Structures are given as structure tokens and as C-alpha cells.
Amino acid sequence: MTVTPSGEFVYVANNGSKNVSAFSLNSNGELTRVTNSPFTAGTKPAAVAVDPSSKFVYVANNGSNSVFAYTIDSTTGELTAVAGGAVATGTKPAAVTVDPSGRFVFIRNATPDDISCFSLNSSTGVLTALVPGPTQARKSPASLVVSSGSSAITYTPTYAYVADFSGGVPTLSVNAGSGSLEAITGSPFGSGSPRTVAVAPNRKFVYAANKGGTDNMIGEYMVDATTGALSSVGTIATGNSPYDVTVDPSSRFVYAVAISTNAVYAYKINESTGALTKISGSPYTVGLSSPDSLAVDPTGRFLTATTGALTLHSTYPAGGAAPWGISTDVTGKYVYMTSNDDTIYEYDVDNSSGNLTNASGSPTMIAAGASRGIVTDPSGQFLYITNSEQALGYSINASPGALTELSSSPYAAGGDPLGITLIGTIQ
């Protein structure tokens, strides 16, 4: 049930009768049925929302996986279906909300645990699905609310952390305007021979997979929020030759793969210190053969190692000699890949199928070394790689995603930099 912002009408989604009831709201709080109410909806309408201007009504239909849009007669409160009919949502939509600006509509989908996002035409009320598609939520999201405000949420990159196989974690500050990198005081930090490095989403901790020699440890560090400097918390044992490490979206767990042990190791993070404790049952070895990378999905419910089952979407697009690292831009429109050679390959993403095609002008050639670690800046402006000798920075052209090396690039980043990651602030 919802009340129009104008305070004149009330609308109720009737789950059992496939319709929406409409009432006028009297000054004494009494409701009077609107002429021709109820109005036809989809199967099992579960939620209803009105835009801030009191011009449009949106109904999420749980049984038909759709959202219906209606215009409101400002005098009578009667509803008229918007041209174009039902718009597809995810599976079992159960909540709907309109943002305070009246520009967007969001639908909470119960079964896939995601949120469908639409732009709202302020003249017609028509909804258009936003690219790249639904946004993952955590398990069983129950409701939606959108805050109001006059300032956009922005991400500002602040520090880059590099896994230097020759020893420690070089740390560089990021100039948010130009994208240039500069080593901070005290860099590099720690020891060992890290192959990859990961930052917790809460920006409090950094973890390094130390592979070289007899290391076989995960290095644990606490981040100084002011300077970006790292303080070693300690290390914890992992399997032979840890190749990759990642932190789950909630900043509660760390996972690492050990290529020679054929296992995934799982750890719980101490929320105060960042120290790790091995989770009961870890390591996990079922079905794994030489795993060398892993990722946690945005909901925090699933982890995929390189030997996990995947469905091939298309033929392989051309790439470099020995693919090493891969990253997408913040819009989900472009994919970038390093190949342990003198190239960075760029691909366009078909958001409806997931297929990749080589972008115009790809690959971008690098001056020296072998392209390895790669990370894109969440603000969408910059991309950074390591090339086994130093770090390189590039600006990303918003369209068509082409890369241009920054004038200040390259940057010193230890003796044998392999992996790289970023940290930043959200305002």
C-alpha cells in the first residue's frame, strides 16, 4: 500500500486478485473507492509505489516477473496503463521504489537476490532498463529505500598497493585529478615474496599472498586511514605456492588458492586487528587442480576458482601470448586483459549476452616488460598495470574505452611487481 506524495490518493496491490485498488483520501482519514477501481495488474502484485510528482504508479508483479506502470488522473485518481505494457523484471519481484528525484525506479527481485534498475521518463512514465543490468544484493533482500540529497556519491582513489615478488608491498599515493602515482613515506612495507595483494572493502586491511621460496604465507596488514601506510599484523600459513588472495564483500573473510596444494584456504578476519584465523574445514580440495585465481561474487555467497564450471558464451576473442590478469571498467562496458607480453587487450562487452569483441585499436602496446597485474579505478578514470619492472598508468576514454598512457607514467614499484590493487574513499 502507498499514499501519493500529494496526499490525495491511496493505492493497494492485491496479491490474490491480480489488481490494484485505488481510494481517495479524505481530510478526516476516510477512504473512498475511486471510480472503476480496482485496476488490472499482473499475476500476484506484491508491491506498489508512486513517483514524487504523483503522476505515475508502479506495481511489481511477483507471479509474472514484471512491473506495470500507470498514469494517475490528478482529479479522480483513476489509473490508465502506460503505453508499452508490462516491463520485465527479475524473478519474483517483491518490492518497488522510486528515487526522490523521480528519475529512476528500483525493483527488488526475491529469487536471484538482485535489484532491477530502470530510468523513468518523466513525461510518459515509461521505464527503460539500465545497462549493464540487475545489481546483486545479499541474500533475501527484504525492502528498498532511496535516500535524497543534492550531491552525487563519488569514489576517489587514494592509494595503490603492489605485490613485489622481490620483497614487500610498495605503496603509492594516487593523484585523483591526474592519476599519477608516487611512493609514500616508508614504502615498501612488510616482507616475503607476494604474488598478489587484496584490500578489504572496508579499506581497513591489506592481505598479500606470499609465494616465493618457503614463504607460503598470507601477509596481514592494517591500513593507516590518513597516510595509507601499512602496519604488519602478522602472517598465517597457507598451502604450497599461494597464487591469489581475495576478501569477501562484507570484509569478514579472506580466501586464498594454493596452486601446488590444489586447495582453497578460508580465513575469518578479526574486525579490530585484521588478523586471520583459519575456518574449520579449510582447506577445501574437492574438484580442484592447480587453481591459480579466485573471486567472490558480489552477494558474498559464492566463490569461484579457475577450475570452477563456466558456460562459454562465445568463441574466444583474440588475446595476447599468455593471458595473466583481467579487469572490467566501472560501467561494465569494457574488459581489459594483460598477457605477460607487451600488450593490453581491450574488449567491448555485449551486456545482453556477455560476449566480448576486440575493441577498435586493441591492443595497447606497452614500452617495456611483460604486462601482468591489472586494476581499474572504480571512479572510471584510470587503469593501472604492473609489467614486472614498474607500474604503468592509463586514462580510460569513457567512449570507446581506449587507453592513453599518463604523461607521468611509469612509476617505480619495487623490483619485480606482479599484482596491484587500489583503495579509495566514498563520499
The single residue listed with the C-alpha cell 552477494 is 299
Residue 228 pLDDT exceeds 60 = yes
59 phi and psi angles, rounded to 5 deg: -125, 125
Q: What local confidence, expressed as pLDDT, does residue 132 receive?
A: 67
What is the rounded average pLDDT of the residues 31-56? Answer: 96
Q: What local confidence, expressed as pLDDT, does residue 398 receive?
A: 80
What is the rounded average pLDDT of the residues 97-126? Answer: 91
Asked if 72 contacts 79 with a C-beta cutoff of 8 angstroms, the reply is yes
Distance CA 339, CA 369 (A): 11
What is the rounded average pLDDT of the residues 204-221? Answer: 87
Q: What local confidence, expressed as pLDDT, does residue 111 receive?
A: 82
Structure confidence at residue 379 as a pLDDT band (50, 70, 90): confident
Distance CA 318, CA 400 (A): 18
38 phi and psi angles, rounded to 5 deg: -85, 165
Q: In whole angstroms, how far apart are CA 87 and each of 160, 168, 346, 361?
A: 42, 52, 33, 37
Question: What single DSSP character describes residue 29?
Answer: S
pTM of the model: 0.73
Q: What local confidence, expressed as pLDDT, does residue 309 receive?
A: 44
Asked if 408 contacts 398 with a C-beta cutoff of 8 angstroms, the reply is no
Residue 425 pLDDT exceeds 90 = no
List the beta strands (DSSP E) in 238-379: 242-247, 253-258, 263-269, 276-278, 294-296, 303-305, 325-328, 334-338, 343-349, 356-358, 364-365, 374-376
Please give the mean pLDDT across all residues of the chain: 89
What is the rounded average pLDDT of the residues 245-254? Answer: 92
Asked if 359 contacts 401 with a C-beta cutoff of 8 angstroms, the reply is yes
Residue 258 pLDDT exceeds 70 = yes
Q: List, for residues 49-83, the tens digit of each pLDDT value.
A: 999 999 999 999 999 999 999 999 999 999 999 99
Distance CA 195, CA 211 (A): 6
Q: List, for residues 293-315, the tens digit of each pLDDT value.
A: 888 877 677 777 765 444 555 55
